[in-house]
Amino acid sequence: MKILEVKNLGFTYENYEKPVLNGVSFSLQAGEVLGISGSNGSGKTTLCYCLCGIIPHCLSGKMDGKVFIKGTDSGQVSLHQLTSDVGIVLQDPGIQILMPTVEDEIAFGLENQRVPREKMKEIVNETLDLVGITPLRGENPNNLSGGQKQLAALASVLALNPSLLIFDESLSMLDEMASQRILFVMKKLKDRGKTLVIVDHTSRGRGLYDKIFLLGRAKLTGTNKMTKENEITLSPG
Ligand SMILES: Nc1ncnc2c1ncn2[C@@H]1O[C@H](COP(=O)(O)OP(=O)(O)O)[C@@H](O)[C@H]1O
Ligand SMILES: [Mg+2]
């Protein structure tokens, strides 16, 4: 089953002339893991925003092409509707954490989805356990270290059980222990058949990838070209 399909995607931020993304096309089947690598400013985060619906729903600019998540055009449904199918752990997870405790944060999305209270408790406990942060459940997320915040953000996304998970540099800014924990969770998700997009310029996650997408520094043309190593290479246009 095709979970993600990107067709001729382009994006130019409002009041800018040059596109950050141009002609990007690829698709991912259920259970596939895509690694995205590329230099600073090459458009990795912008691509992640397009893949989860933040673009076009929350950021202004000109989007070309289409992103289909489980067959649904991301521009045609609300961001809220997309959250049950796609979750993102942002490069700066502090932005996405809103609640006073870690467990409230994990429960927040479930409350929005009107999950019954008992079921919610069960999911919160399971997710805390999976991510390895049960001892942090009562902590204020603002007081956590960068790595712990990353794990809390990941837990709040996982609780919603999306088919597609996007990690924007989740492995880059962490100490060895936290990044090993995130890698462990990614591996579990892969085993469970989730589709993952992992932005990573450290190569820490390399063992998990089925494909790698290299974003060039210059304007991009999507070629969806597979190399010997099963890499998708975007050549500068
Ligand atoms: N909100 C924004 N408004 C205007 N330009 C932006 C915005 N966010 C990112 N950019 C620009 O888009 C380009 C790609 O940024 P980004 O997607 O963050 O790259 P990466 O994640 O690969 O470092 C950069 O030139 C950056 O300055
Ligand atoms: Mg980035």
Q: What is the pLDDT of residues 3-19, one digit of tens each?
A: 999 999 999 999 999 99
Residue closest to 23 by CA, chosen among 50, 41, 57, 58: 50
The length of the chain is 237
With a 6 Å cutoff on the Cβ, whether 37 touches ligand 1 is no
Q: Whose CA is nearest to atom 4 of ligand 1?
A: 13
Closest ligand by atom to 169 CA? 2
Helix axes 176-191, 146-158, angle to 10 degrees: 10
* The one-letter amino acid at 11: F
Q: How large is the angle between the packed helices 117-131 and 176-191, nearest 10 degrees?
A: 120
> What's this model's pTM, rounded to 2 decimal places?
0.90
Q: What is the distance in A from the centroid of ligand 1 to the CA of 46? A: 6
Could you read off the pLDDT of 87-119 as tens digits, one per residue? 999 988 888 888 999 999 999 999 999 999 999
The response to whether residue 39 sits with its C-beta less than 6 Å from ligand 1 reads no
Q: Is the CB of 16 under 6 A from ligand 1?
A: yes
List of domains in the chain? 1-85+164-171+193-237 (3.40.50.300), 87-161 (no CATH)
Note the pLDDT tens digit of each residue in 117-167: 999 999 999 999 999 999 999 999 999 988 899 999 999 999 999 999 999
- The residue whose C-alpha atom lies closest to atom 24 belonging to ligand 1 is 41
Q: Is the CB of 38 under 6 A from ligand 1?
A: yes
Determine how many CB atoms are found less than 10 A away from the CB of residue 86. Answer: 25
Cβ-based neighbour number of residue 117 at 10 Å: 10
Q: Which amino acid is at 19?
A: P
Beta-bridge partner residues of 12: 62
Identify which of 8, 35, 56, 52 has the alpha carbon closest to the alpha carbon of residue 212. Answer: 35
187 CA to centre of ligand 1 in angstroms = 29
